[in-house]
């Protein structure tokens, strides 16, 4: 099961400190994985651990 969260300029803090997302995601049993698309968009893909 995966949840995909769109990234962008407003979401840059997560790229700087991915750990900010980790505690909340971990409680839900999800692990963030950063995915960059060819056109430069990027996503935090939360993958069930």
Burial of 44 (0-12, 13-18, 19+ CB in 10 A): buried
And the tokens for 47? Answer: 């993958």
The number of residues in the chain equals 49
pLDDT at 33: 74
pLDDT at 18: 60
pLDDT at 5: 60
pLDDT at 17: 55
Sequence spans of domains, the chain: 2-48
How far apart are the C-alpha atoms of 4 and 42, rounded to whole Å?
Answer: 10
Series of mean pLDDT values for 10-residue runs along the chain (49 residues): 54 55 72 75 71
Burial of 36 (0-12, 13-18, 19+ CB in 10 A): exposed
* pTM strictly above 0.75: no
How far apart are the C-alpha atoms of 38 and 1, rounded to whole Å?
Answer: 24
């Amino acid at each position: 099961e995966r949840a995909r969260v769109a990234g962008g300029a407003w979401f840059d803090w997560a790229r700087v400190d991915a750990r900010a997302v980790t505690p909340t995601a971990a409680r839900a049993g999800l692990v963030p994985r950063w995915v960059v698309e060819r056109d430069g968009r990027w996503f935090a893909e939360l993958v069930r651990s």
